[in-house]
Structure 1
Amino acid sequence: MAPASSTPPPDAASAVCVVSVKALCAFGAKAGDLDLRFVPAPSALEGMAGHALVQGRRGGNYQNEVSLDARHGALRVRGRADGYVPDPPRVEEIKTFRGDFDAIRGNHRALHWAQARVYGWMLCDQHGHAQMTVALVYLDLATGEETVLEEQHTREALREHFESLCERYSAWAQQEADHHGALDRTLSQLAFPHQSFRTGQRELAEAVYRAAAGGRCLMAQAPTGIGKTLATIFPLLKARAAGKLDKVFFLTAKTSGRPVALDALRVLGKGCAAGGAQPRVLELAAREKVCEYPDRACNGDSCPLAKGFYDRLPAARIEAAQTGWLDRQALRQVALQHTVCPYFLAQEMAHWSDVIVGDYNYYFDGSAFLFATMKDADWRVAVLVDEAHNLLERARGMYTAQLEGGALEEAHRIAPAPVRGPLARLFREWDTVQQSQTDNYETADEIPERFVRALQAANTAMAEYFAAKPEAAQGPLQRFFFDALHFARLAEVFDDHSVFERTLGITQQDRTLAIRNLVPAPFLEGRFADAVSVTCFSGTLSPFAFYRDALGLPPDTALLDVASPFHSQQLRVEVAMDVSTRFRDRAGSLGNVAGIIGAQFERMPGNYLAFFSSFDYLESARAAFSARHPGVPVWTQTRGMLEADRHGFIARFEEGGQGIGFAVLGGAFGEGIDLPGSRLVGAFVASLGLPQYNALNEITRERMQSRFGKGYEYTYLYPGLQKVVQAAGRVIRTEEDRGVLHLLDDRFARTEIRELLPRWWHVEVGGMGRARDALL
């Protein structure tokens, strides 16, 4: 159960704060340990079906989904009782579960009782009952059996329980109302933190504000160096002050993007009036990055930060709210001071923060925490998607699921008897799926129904086993179970946005089955629609139609292409007509590529980046270059490069330095690194960046063609050139930078290719000595 949602300021006329029964009880009734020992929770649809089943079994005078409303001071509590019988008066709170009833945690059951008692009071208050039977009805979805717990309460006892919860919440709600009121007054006076806007920065800020005010989405392409992060956060803080927003989510593709957003928020915070309220800022980080005891399980019997978590949470919550600035380090300090888990304190403080900075997956993933919490709490949220060109591939990964044959074999080997049989049947159905397969890799437009049924049966068996023995929910069996659950969920919604993959591998253990997402739009459409506004911004986000279609942004999405502050005199762009990087020509291209890089270095010694389409091509080019120019320092990106080695690679680009860094296009050094001034004076791009021609990409092309009419462009051309422009963007970072860019492939001279390059580039076509049929 999620903690209470943040409460908006009281209505000026009525001074009433509205809170749901669920939020009221979650705030004040949770106690005891944090316990994440696995218990399979029913899905929302299963829960709804379970409620309907119980309600359908009741008699004729039984009322279900009864809307209720009660007041306590300035607090107005709303909710719906699952079931109510007027005579004799009885209220039911229905919960669904699987497996062992005794596995339901005590703190969860206490929360359920709190909700039921609140509904009991609301019915007494509404109908004048002197007493009430309060019942918890637990429905086992596996068997359909009910376990009913009952309490008899007087009207007075239920009133006291209700008022005690309201008193606890009212004090906090008033504090929150005061914070929001003061923050809105402060933000209404917030000025842009610099003396003037950079070129294009005001245009971007105004577009973001208009999108939020009008409830529209925005796609904005704006060049590096204008301050996009500040220009997108500032207008949303102003929009919040105008009463249009509850929260701002700033989402990044990579961990490295979070410090940039936090730095911008620090600058804006300093601009708040002296003594004025500051926006509460929260940084969300992955559990494995913030866990203090990675070798311990998340329960009170194992982890000291889980023991008594909910007993200590109120004090930690108060201090965290007073602290206000909750980046990873500050949140950890508060959490450890109160002996609570930093990760789950962060999830609690998401309800009470004004700006939240985190990864894409917190909003766009199928089980995204921020999206689910936003929906549950009915927040009005504006979302900023940083470097949004990355969202396409990230979203494809979120909605892809894979099962490994070796993982199933291991799970079957260690499984207990009740689970081993269903896993064996799943293995047989898997064999049936692949028995006629001849090629190593094949795809299909449908998933065999018998395999899906066997998978669901195996999932049910594993869920019931883990429900009965939660302490066993670890190791290979649990890992396979989670993979199987993800696969089964995607199988339920399988359509032409995805493909069913079958890979044989070298051995039986290498076999895989996968649901591979190709077009994430159907999954993301609701994420864009449910926010007040989503702004997707990047230095490379064109053509707009490609990203809008593939990601599922609304048709009325506003579009903004901010003119670059840079000019053609800053960057000399040359196309080498005597180089072809087509696969069949790569071996023959090495001499010319090495010659062009060497000649440029001799003309203007300095630091350069050279990008290639693959590690194999990179190694061949580096060897050819070093053989011809042994005196020029070189450093090379390698496969599986560790983080420390990546930092070392970038550190080689010193001010005034000289040498060539060889890297893979689209890799770690193709974007997100900042090398201004003489740290980088030029780049070479020996590739159009086109994805490999293979079976999967050809299927993607067909699907894109069917959906959008531009299969080749959406699959190969646009994604490829996006990588080229991103890599080239490492050269010019400020209005003072000067540099050179060599595009090492004759196809860059084609009109349709040049039209997709940045407008401020002046492209010169050269290297005609070995020019061939470049336009073929």
Structure 2
Amino acid sequence: MSYAVSVRTLCEFAARRGDLDLRFHLGPSAQEGMLGHRIVTARRADHYLKEIPLQAQHGALTVRGRADGFDPESRRLEEIKTYRGRLRDMPASHSALHWAQARVYGHLMCRKLNLNTIELALVYFNVATGRETIRSQECKAADLEDHFNALCGRFLAWALQEIEHRRQRDAALQALQLPFEGFRDGQRTLAKAVYRGLRDRTHHAIQAPTGIGKTMGTLFPALKAMSEQKLDKLFFLTAKTPGRKVALHALQALQGPRLMPLRVLELAAREHACEHPDKQCNGQSCPLARGFYDRLEGAREQALKEGMLDRAALRRHALRHDICPYHLGAELVPWCDLVVGDYSYYFDVGATLHAQTVVQEWRTAVLVDEAHNLVERARAMYSATLRQQDVRALLRLLPAAPRAAFGRRRTGTEAPASAKPVPEQVPLWLEAGPHDVQADTAQPAGLRNALDSLARNWQKLIAGQAGAQPAQAAPPEPLLQSLRQAAGALSDHLEQADDSTHDEALRLYFEVQHFLRMAESFGPHSLFETTAFHQSAGGDGFHECSIRNVVPAPFLEPRFQAAHACVLFSATLQPKAFYADVLGLPESTAWLDVATPFSAEQLQVRVAGGISTRYADRQASLAPMVELIAAQYARKPGNYLVFASSFDYLHRLAEAFADRHPSIALWVQSREMDEAARADFLARFDASGRGIGFAVLGGVFAEGIDLPGDRLIGAFIATLGLPQVNPRNEALKQCLEASFAGCGYDYAYLYPGLRKVVQAAGRIIRTPQDAGVVYLMDDRYNRPAVRRLLPAWWRIEQARAAPRPAPELPLPPVLSAAQGQADESARHARGAA
């Protein structure tokens, strides 16, 4: 059996040594890197060869890759690297890796053409100046072969181990059995669709009711198909942390007491995995980056023996070897079978899982949990915002510029005179000029000059503006040109920044780079918006400009195409056209609506048609909703959830209820709740307890939580969940209308609102034994257009009017032992409001 490895993976595995150092990689984006390669190769002669596929065998190892360029007349093979900043600041570990790759490609080329010698050249292309720096050396084929054999020898033992792991993994997956007696109702239908989709390489969008076990119903058939279809990787992607935990729990159940040879890796966000957030990611600053690659081999080998690498296990192995847990996780991705992580790891702009899938040519299956969330998450990924106050904050930290650098003060729109003119940069978007091979000696403009220029162009943009402005066709070019110059200056500054400015400069650098990337791909799928804020009492105002993505389909389509098959599943994936249009699902996507295993008798759905929750009626709606909630609680005491459309509305309703019924325990969601606070909120829903939780519709407690049995017996939903009508949402509607004629209002308002309602109601029935009640508190639920978007199995009736006033209820016995519990809950609700 042969094991295939790319040149890049081989060299990164066997040739890297020294510190982890991200400073030199701050500059080019992936798009800039590809464009830089095209510019360099376009400057070469007509006989120059580009992207040459190369391959060689070393025992059971197949090494393959594509050389950037080769000149057959001079016998020079070029490895092109793009960068920003100063080349002399490149860490030695990076240079060593680059030469290792060039030498491997050199050996493969010598073998292909039967050459005795070859010239190897590292071509460093500065994306800010457009200049090349070339470092070359003449190499003998015999020396390159020795180098290649040494690397392969170092990797071969690992490759043989990986071959054996793959054999054992596939055998174990073929024998895999459900850890239960059988499938739940509806779960078998879901599992069949997932298995067939991966078998037939067909994307699926599956709507399946809550409570049937969608996580196990997708993971189990995907693992069975993984061995049969020879898949390299399985990615299980979630929108929120609870989804990752549910997936890991399901995988532990599948593993059973005898752990099968399946390597599972959980990827957490950098801010959750970083041990030293106050330090920079290089060996001079962070002790876990110092000597990272020297200790990586031992950490990697020990970690992969464990198999189930959740966040805690990954941290344990990393700290045992004194290396960074976050970057250890990234290094383990190529060697793990199943990765559990956030959507962003595959669908974001620079998503590492997608990039490696493409580069390594993996056969990958992607499972997207609670896929309705992908719409808003993807919109955020491909949106960008710049804040004027961030520029000002960094300027305040920089030392004052010499007076001569600014010249005399001008008025109007004239640019200030400069005693030292700013050198003109050669940006990537300009047509490639003549072949310019020289040392990297261009001196970039100072950071303060670049930020001052940005501030001037920004000020022209917002002159006379107050509040939000209508969406514009595209970001103005003068602003973009200033941002490009600022990005280059920030990159140079970060190469030598001290601690007092580094964090502010780094944050602004990434914001500017992301904005520029989104500007390069600006189109009818996005809006350019500007907003000016003015502080009172004579304070300076501030301004934001943003590129807001509305239709992420053009960005997501390549992600779907790169996968062997994708399965999107959720309790709310209707209407089909909305998700297909906005997400860019292929036309060949198979759609399935799994029938509910629950009966209408399990869930009483009641519409309070005499209540209006429209914005103008909200104050008047509080009293009747309070009495409706209290009346239901009096009929059947237990645990309930009340959902409102905003925190303001939620807290007003909670305060009104606490004032009228202080003896009923209640607890309220706040705007900023960490994981511990969320856990405390959910812990209040004890099976033997009684009380009412108040939460925001569409928030963390409205989906993805599991409170079966008596832990939750009812919900009250105050509103249709429709987004507020304002200029921002109206611009969204108009953009959607332009892309999908006749659907603007439904796509912008109706469908997202009703989706949140169905998700919240889905918290009630989680098992075949559950029963409960849902109150839909708004007269618009009686409209046919709204009813059609609610689950077909719901049997909807009109709610009985609540008695007025409802009697005060005694404190439930289960809470009477907690002294002052009801009073404390009421005070909490009033304080939160």
**Equivalence map 1:398-477=2 (5 Å):** 398-415=381-398, 418-467=446-495, 474-477=502-505
Correspondence 1:72-87 to 2 at 5 A: 72-85=58-71
How far is 1:556 from its partner? 2.0
Partner amino acid for 1:98? R
1:477-502 CA-to-partner distances (Å, cap 9, x unmatched) read: 22212111111111111112111111
Partner of residue 656, structure 2: 624
CA distance in structure 2 between the partners assigned to 1:65 and 1:741 by the alignment: 61
- 1:724 to partner: Cα distance: 1.1
Shift of residue 575 of structure 1? 1.0
**Pair 287,62 (structure 1): closer, same or farther in 2 beyond 3 Å:** same
Q: Which residue does 1:594 correspond to in 2?
A: 626
Q: What's 2:228 paired with?
A: 242
Task: Find the aligned partners of 2:83 and 2:640 in 1 and give their Cα distance.
Answer: 60
Identity fraction in percent: 51
Hey, what does 1:615 align to over in structure 2?
647
**Residue number among 663, 673, 695 corresponding to 1:663 in the alignment:** 695
Could you say which residue in structure 1 is the equivalent of 2:311? 328
Q: TM-score, normalised by structure 1?
A: 0.92
The CA distance in 1 between the partners of 2:52 and 2:628, in whole Å, is: 77
Question: For the residues of structure 2 that align with 1:224 and 1:183, how far apart are their CA atoms?
Answer: 31
Q: How many residues are matched?
A: 753
1:711/1:135 CA distance change after superposition, 3 Å: closer
User: In 2, distance between residues paired with 1:139 and 1:453?
Assistant: 20
Aligned to 2:274: 291
The alignment's TM-score, normalised by the length of structure 2, stands at: 0.86
Give the 3 Å change call, closer, same or farther, for CA 663–325 of structure 1 in structure 2.
closer
Structure 1 match to 2:778: 745
Q: CA RMSD in A?
A: 2.4
Q: Which residue of 2 aligns with 1:764?
A: 797
1:339 and 2:322 equivalent? yes
8 Å CA contact 2:23, 2:494 repeated in 1: no
Q: 1:344 to 1:510 in 2, by over 3 A?
A: same
Instruction: Say which of 672, 689, 692 aligns to 2:721.
Output: 689
Which residue of 2 is the match for residue 774 of structure 1?
A: none
Q: Which amino acid aligns with 2:784?
A: T
How far apart in 1 are the matches of 2:616 and 2:550? 28
Deviations 1:430-487 (A, max 9, x none): 1111114244454323221221122212222222333466988722222212111111
The CA distance in 2 between the partners of 1:445 and 1:263, in whole Å, is: 48
Distance 1:569 1:230 in 2: 26
Higher deviation after alignment, 627-636 or 367-376: 627-636
Provide the C-alpha distance between the structure 2 equivalents of 1:196 and 1:38, rounded to a whole number of angstroms. 54
Show the counterpart of 2:252.
266
Pair 1:408–1:66, CA change in 2 (3 A): same
2:598 match: 566
Match of 2:430 in 1: none
Contact 2:50-2:67 within 8 A present in 1 as well? yes
* Contact 2:282–2:290 (CA under 8 A) maintained in structure 1: yes
Report matched runs for 1:204-219 at 5 Å: 204-219=190-205
Which amino acid is 2:351 matched to? Answer: A
Question: Which letter does structure 2 place at the counterpart of 1:639?
Answer: R
> How far apart, CA to CA, are the structure 1 residues paired with 2:43 and 2:661?
84
**Match in the other structure for 2:520:** 492
Distance 1:36 1:322, change over 3 A: same
> Is 1:39–1:466's contact at 8 Å kept on the other side of the alignment?
no
SS class of match (1:504): strand
The alpha-carbon deviation at position 258 of structure 1 amounts to: 0.9
- Equivalent of 1:93 in 70, 76, 79: 79
Equivalent pair of 1:577/1:767 in contact (CA under 8 Å): no
Measured in 2, the distance between the counterparts of 1:200 and 1:154 equals 65
1:482 and 2:465 matched: no
SS in structure 2 of the partner of residue 578 of structure 1: coil
Match of 1:191 in 2: 177
1:501 is matched with 529
Q: Give the AA of the match of 1:250.
A: F
- Once residues 669 and 252 of structure 1 are traced to their aligned partners in structure 2, the CA distance between those partners, rounded to angstroms, is 16
Single out whichever of 79-88 and 743-752 deviates more from structure 2.
79-88
Q: Distance in 2 between matches of 1:591 and 1:52?
A: 67
CA contact (8 A) 2:170 2:227 kept: yes
Point out the more displaced range, 580-589 or 388-397.
Answer: 580-589
Over 3 Å counting, the alpha-carbon distance change for 1:38 and 1:258 in structure 2 is same
Match of 2:607, SS state, is: strand
How far 1:692 sits from its partner (Å)?
0.3
Change over 3 Å in CA distance of 1:129–1:473 after alignment to 2:
farther
Structure 1 residues 665 and 26: CA distance shift in structure 2, 3 A: same
Please state if 1:755 is matched with 2:738: no
Q: Post-superposition shift, 1:143? A: 3.9
Q: Tell me how far 1:270 sits from its aligned partner.
A: 2.1
Cα distance per residue 1:106-162 (max 9 Å; x no partner): 111111111222223233333443334333232334444443333343333222111
> 1:385 Cα deviation (Å)?
0.9
2:618 aligned with 1:582, yes or no?
no
CA deviations on 1:91-116 (whole Å, 9 max, x unpaired) are: 33332323312111111111111122
- Matched to 1:317, the amino acid is R
- Report the CA distance between 1:664 and its aligned residue: 2.0
Q: What is the identity, as a one-letter code, of the residue corresponding to 1:253?
A: A
Distance 2:46 2:587 in 1: 48
Conserved in 1, the CA contact under 8 Å of 2:107 and 2:141? yes
Among 344, 369, 374, the residue aligned to 1:391 = 374
Shift of 1:190: 1.6
The whole-number CA distance in structure 1 between the counterparts of 2:73 and 2:750 is: 71
Give secondary structure in 2 for the equivalent of 1:596. helix
Q: Which moved more, 1:231-240 or 1:122-131?
A: 122-131
Of residues 571, 574, 577, the one that matches 1:539 is 571
Determine the structure 2 residue equivalent to 1:714.
747
1:222 is aligned with what amino acid? A
What is the rounded CA distance, in whole Å, between the counterparts of 1:196 and 1:58 in structure 2? 64
Shift in Å, 1:698? 1.0
Aligned match for 1:125, one of 111, 117, 121: 111
Please tell me whether the aligned partners of residues 524 and 739 of structure 2 are also in contact (alpha carbons under 8 angstroms). Answer: no
**1:727 corresponds to 2:763:** no
Q: Which moved more, 1:643-652 or 1:82-91?
A: 82-91
Residue 160 of structure 1: aligned partner = 146
Contact 1:37 1:470 in 2 (8 A): no
Greater displacement, 600-609 / 124-133:
124-133
Would the aligned equivalents of 1:410 and 1:477 in 2 still touch at CA under 8 Å? no
**Structure 2, unaligned stretches of length 5 or more?**
402-445, 804-833
For each residue in 1:604-651, what CA deviation from the matched residue of structure 2 results, as whole angstroms up to 9, or x when unmatched? 122211222223333333333334333322222233344443333222
Q: What letter is aligned with 2:712?
A: L
Q: Report SS of the residue matched to 1:474.
A: helix
SS state of the match for residue 139, structure 1? strand
> Partners in 1 of 2:31 and 2:662 — Cα distance?
66
> Per the alignment, do residues 524 and 85 of structure 1 end up closer, same or farther by CA in structure 2, a change over 3 Å counting?
closer
- Where 1:688 maps in the other structure, the secondary structure is coil
Q: Closer, same or farther in 2 for the Cα pair 1:437/1:72, shift >3 Å?
A: same
Check whether the contact 1:466–1:472 (CA below 8 A) recurs between aligned residues. no
CA contact (8 A) 1:130 1:154 kept: yes
On the 8 A contact 2:467/2:533 being kept in 1, the answer is no
Q: Distance in 2 between matches of 1:473 and 1:368?
A: 28
- Determine helix, strand or coil for the equivalent of 1:184: helix
Q: How far is 1:49 from its partner?
A: 4.6
In 2, distance between residues paired with 1:93 and 1:49?
15
Q: Is the Cα–Cα contact under 8 Å of residues 415 and 477 in structure 1 kept in the other structure?
A: no
